Structure 1
Amino acid sequence: MACDLRAAVIGSPIGHSKSPVLHAAAYRFIGVDCDYSAIDVPESALTGFITDVRSTPGWRGLSVTMPLKPGIARLADGVSELAAVLGVANTVVVDHAGGGIRLQAYNTDVTGISHALAAAGVDGPARGVILGGGGTAAAAVAGLAGLGARSVSVVVRRPGAAADLLRIGSALGLDVSLQPWDRAGERVRSADVVVSTLPPRAADGLGRELATDARFRTQATLLDVAYDPWPSVLADAWERAGGTIVPGLDMLLHQAVEQVRLFFPEVAQDRAAVLGVMCDAVGATRR
């Protein structure tokens, strides 16, 4: 018999996503019968896909990956206060209350980043650095603000394209500066915490630069959201230099726990226990 409830992760490409495994494990644990799948939705097809969701019974929620995070925030009926500030969302709750359908957007990437870093011991970093200026970088600004960072440098290849991060920092009470990519090595060497929001292998050049610098030593923490392959070239160089590395899988796990809570608020959930079964499902270390 087909399952009456459904949820999915959407984006393009989407075949690499571990979200179906994580959500399936969580649903079994909390006793929810819900089908969760991965659906390739290119940016040009997002509006049509959301129209279909509105007309199809049984939808509970969507996990949203790039390049759809800005678009989904615009198409939702309501947006959480934080997601509105960021202008990007990665989670949509389909609410059937009152006989209609309402799509409410959230950004659980912020929770994923802050919880993953906190679990690694990051607390009140003085100098944060973010590599990349896209939607995940916006969440990283908010995540570092939540951890008490005093200032954050965002290192990008086109600073003008990331100017909205200055507005986000100001809204969150955080001093954000934009730096050109040729200063990436200088910035990460002096950081307390670094969050790389770049796609897989995009930071390999920086990683090789650090790996060949015999003088480079650090006690800072690096979260690299690109978890496949792992360790990345950057993460390997960072760990060899004495730093702490946090895989992007940890971020994915923590944000997925929050998504499950939002999709099924009527079901009692022990956050630590749900995180544990998700870790077991993908062979991740419990933190």
Structure 2
Amino acid sequence: MSTIRRAAVLGSPIAHSLSPVLHRAAYAELGLSHWSYDRFEVDEAGLPGFIEGLDASWAGLSLTMPLKRAIIPLLDSISEAASSVEAVNTVVFTDDGRRTGDNTDIPGMIAALRERGVEKTDSAAVLGAGATASSALGALAQICAGPITAYVRTRRRGDEMRGWGERLGVDVRIADWVDAAQALHAPLVIATTPAGATDTLSDAVLDAPGTLFDVLYTPWPTALAAAWSSHGGAVIGGLDLLVHQAVLQVKQMTGREGSLVDAMRAAGEAAIASARSTSY
């Protein structure tokens, strides 16, 4: 009999998370019937207690907001990628009891962009300045040859983005959110803001824009993504990111890999369609 192995996604709020759908689809594809993947509502205050309460059946965790930085002091080590942007979205529990952290958002973004034919860009714009925005800088550090302009709401956020840029060796320029419509001129725009934050920019989309990578997957399409598509621009959505980073999480947690993208994306699309139909 196979030993039961557990994994889960933690965050707050967490009820909307598609991670269980994607990981369970991967387990089914890999024949891992003894693996389970759940979700738990955990905030920063509750995170230490949750981690301490895990037993040896646990293989790994996915972290979403607001835990990507809060988890770092609780780990034994983190990868260079996670350290460079101070954001961990993946925890693996090793056989010797160590807790290791990684960031699969960075390579996940690169894989999602590559899937849509975006290998390199001369410049880029980032909307927002949270943990996902820092991961976006980590991805852009590998594919962007020129300056990256980050549109932020506060000076503190701007200083953080500039600091990450210095660590990553990229030219990050800070602009005020009131000028965010200027971001739409960039050949690649990565929107990392919460739902509704970019809606007012939809009227400013240019004819034949470049590529928009909007990290949201619900509601979808966002007003900005819909406007972008209607003007002939290429759009990459949050489900693309979620799938590609989850593929890497599955590999790290289970030690198994395969052709999982199609199965995981199909499961995610079905879940989104089901949620949309029951909301009316």
Partner of 1:178: 174
Question: Does residue 203 of structure 2 align to residue 205 of structure 1?
Answer: no
8 Å contact from structure 2 (residues 77, 101) kept in 1:
yes
Question: Does residue 99 of structure 2 align to residue 106 of structure 1?
Answer: no
**Which digits, 9 at most, give the CA deviation of each residue in 1:103-145, with x for residues without a partner?**
1000001112111111111122111011000000000001111
Partner of 2:113: 117
8 Å contact from structure 1 (residues 159, 178) kept in 2:
no
For residues 57 and 264 of structure 2, the distance between their equivalents in structure 1, rounded to whole angstroms, comes to 24
For residues 38 and 70 of structure 1, the distance between their equivalents in structure 2, rounded to whole angstroms, comes to 18
8 Å contact from structure 2 (residues 84, 138) kept in 1:
no
Question: Does residue 29 of structure 2 align to residue 29 of structure 1?
Answer: yes
Partner of 1:141: 137
For residues 183 and 43 of structure 2, the distance between their equivalents in structure 1, rounded to whole angstroms, comes to 34
Which of the numbers 202, 207, 211 marks the counterpart of 1:217?
207
Partner of 2:5: 5
| 1:1-287 → structure 2 map (5 Å cutoff) | 4-32=4-32, 33-53=34-54, 56-97=55-96, 101-188=97-184, 190-207=185-202, 209-210=203-204, 216-265=206-255, 267=256, 269-270=257-258, 273-283=259-269
Aligned AA for 2:204?
A: L
Q: Are residues 161 and 282 of structure 1, via their aligned partners in 2, closer, same or farther at CA, if it must alter by over 3 Å? A: closer
8 Å contact from structure 2 (residues 126, 192) kept in 1:
yes
For residues 99 and 87 of structure 2, the distance between their equivalents in structure 1, rounded to whole angstroms, comes to 14
Aligned AA for 2:95?
A: H
For residues 6 and 165 of structure 2, the distance between their equivalents in structure 1, rounded to whole angstroms, comes to 36
- How big is the shift at 1:31? 2.2
For residues 48 and 269 of structure 2, the distance between their equivalents in structure 1, rounded to whole angstroms, comes to 36
- How big is the shift at 1:2? 11
Aligned AA for 1:67?
A: P
RMSD: 1.7
Judge which range, 168-177 or 57-66, deviates more: 168-177
- How big is the shift at 1:159? 3.2
- How big is the shift at 1:160? 2.3
- How big is the shift at 1:3? 6.9
**Which digits, 9 at most, give the CA deviation of each residue in 1:228-264, with x for residues without a partner?**
1111001011112221111110000000000001102
SS of 2:141's equivalent in the other structure is helix
Aligned AA for 1:8?
A: A
What's the TM-score once normalised by structure 1's chain length?
0.89
For residues 192 and 235 of structure 1, the distance between their equivalents in structure 2, rounded to whole angstroms, comes to 15
What's the TM-score once normalised by structure 2's chain length?
0.92
For residues 276 and 242 of structure 1, the distance between their equivalents in structure 2, rounded to whole angstroms, comes to 25
Aligned AA for 2:188?
A: V
**Which digits, 9 at most, give the CA deviation of each residue in 1:53-75, with x for residues without a partner?**
2xx12000000000000111221
For residues 93 and 164 of structure 1, the distance between their equivalents in structure 2, rounded to whole angstroms, comes to 27
Q: Are residues 2 and 48 of structure 1, via their aligned partners in 2, closer, same or farther at CA, if it must alter by over 3 Å? A: farther
Question: Identity of aligned pairs, percent?
Answer: 40
Segments of 5+ residues of structure 2 without an aligned counterpart are 271-280
Aligned residues: 269
Segments of 5+ residues of structure 1 without an aligned counterpart are none
